[in-house]
């Protein structure tokens, strides 16, 4: 989904603008490097076993790299194909329409960039309560939720014969 100029103020109020800017530039993941990290992941300790010792991704890393808040209220928890529906925001759109587009963009960010699954095309309705009040979104700890989701995804890959890894892989 394009990041329309008119929805940027709402994305900023939700404290997700940095993530949206990263989304515009898409990360090109080095798949062999990610695979090497996964091979060194230990689900028991949530750490990477490296030749020089253990290391992990911390909340500080999430805050710095993705620009997400790690303080605030906890985040807890369909498929809708609205990439096409929200592709174009008309210049003469009403403010109510702009709010709808901002909410749709935030739901897309949450479902694909932070809490993505292997389908890579689902936007879940469980984000609706969070985007209902855009002004409250900045008060949630999105960073800790994203890190927990990444740990969960990596543990699933390490414990099963799963071939695709999901989650906020930018942190790797």
72 vs 74: CA distance, rounded Å? 6
Q: How many domains does the chain have?
A: 1
In the sheet with 47-50, reading across from the earlier edge strand, the strands are 41-42, 47-50, 53-55
CB-facing half-sphere around the CA of 49: CA atoms within 13 A: 8
Residue 148 structure tokens = 């927990």
pLDDT at 85: 65
pLDDT at 147: 85
Are residues 93 and 53 in contact, defined by beta-carbon separation less than 8 angstroms? no
Q: How far, CA to CA in Å, does 3 sit from each of 16, 22, 89, 91, 109? A: 12, 11, 10, 14, 11
Are residues 97 and 105 in contact, defined by beta-carbon separation less than 8 angstroms? no
CA 142: distance to chain centroid?
A: 8
pLDDT at 32: 82
Identify the residue whose tokens are 């091979």.
39
Statement: the pTM of the whole predicted model exceeds 0.75:
no
pLDDT at 136: 84
Q: Give me the residues of the chain with pLDDT under 70, please.
A: 1, 23-29, 74-87, 117-125, 159-164
Identify the residue whose tokens are 């109510």.
96
pLDDT at 82: 54
Residue 28 structure tokens = 């090109």
pLDDT at 23: 60
Domain enclosing residue 27, as ranges? 5-171
H or E, element range at 53: strand 53-55
């Amino acid at each position: 989904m394009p990041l329309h100029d008119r929805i940027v103020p709402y994305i900023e109020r939700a404290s997700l603008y940095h993530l949206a800017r990263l989304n515009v530039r898409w990360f090109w993941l080095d798949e062999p490097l990610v695979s090497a990290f996964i091979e060194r992941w230990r689900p028991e300790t949530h750490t990477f076993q490296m030749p020089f010792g253990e290391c992990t991704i911390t909340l500080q890393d999430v805050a710095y790299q993705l620009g997400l808040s790690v303080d605030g209220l906890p985040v807890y928890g369909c498929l809708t194909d609205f990439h096409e529906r929200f592709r174009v925001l008309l210049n003469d759109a009403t403010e109510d329409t702009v709010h709808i587009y901002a909410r749709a963009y935030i739901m897309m960010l949450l479902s694909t960039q932070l809490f993505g699954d292997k389908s890579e095309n689902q936007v879940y309705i469980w984000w609706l309560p969070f985007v209902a009040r855009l002004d409250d979104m900045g008060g949630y700890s999105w960073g800790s939720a994203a890190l927990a989701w990444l740990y969960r995804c990596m543990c699933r890959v390490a414990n099963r014969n799963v071939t695709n890894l999901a989650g906020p892989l930018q942190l790797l």
